[in-house]
Amino acid sequence: MTLYALSKLMFDLNRDDAVKGQFAQDREAIVARYALTEEERGAVLKPDIGLLYVLGVNGQLLMHYAGLLGIEWSDYLQRMRDGVKMHGPVRAGIYALTSSPDEKVAG
């Protein structure tokens, strides 16, 4: 169930300006509100976009989280490829990689 909590954090961040503001001030305090595993918590705080992708965060949430952090589009795509190389295949959800992590499809 923790992927749900991790996803909920991304959802709240994406749509709630107050949460967004608090997150900018004190990232750890916001993250503590969600029942995350250590791996998930670390991935959010680092932030490790590649690991968040491998953990199964829906791309429509992760894309906006990366945007919030100011990560440029091509860099975002590369971080996910790197994540798969480092942490292995996507573990859950409907956003699994279908190309090779060494392939650049577009962007």
Contact 52, 44 (CB under 8 A): yes
The distance of closest approach from Cβ of residue 18 to another protein in the complex, given in angstroms and rounded to an integer, is 14
The distance of closest approach from Cβ of residue 22 to another protein in the complex, given in angstroms and rounded to an integer, is 18
Q: How far is the C-alpha of 81 from the C-alpha of 34, rounded, in Å? A: 27
CB of 10 or CB of 36, closer to another protein: 10
CB of 51 or CB of 61, closer to another protein: 61
Residues 54 to 73 in contact with another protein, rule: CB under 8 A = 58-64, 67-68, 73
Burial-class residue 82 by CB neighbours within 10 Å (0-12, 13-18, 19+).
middle
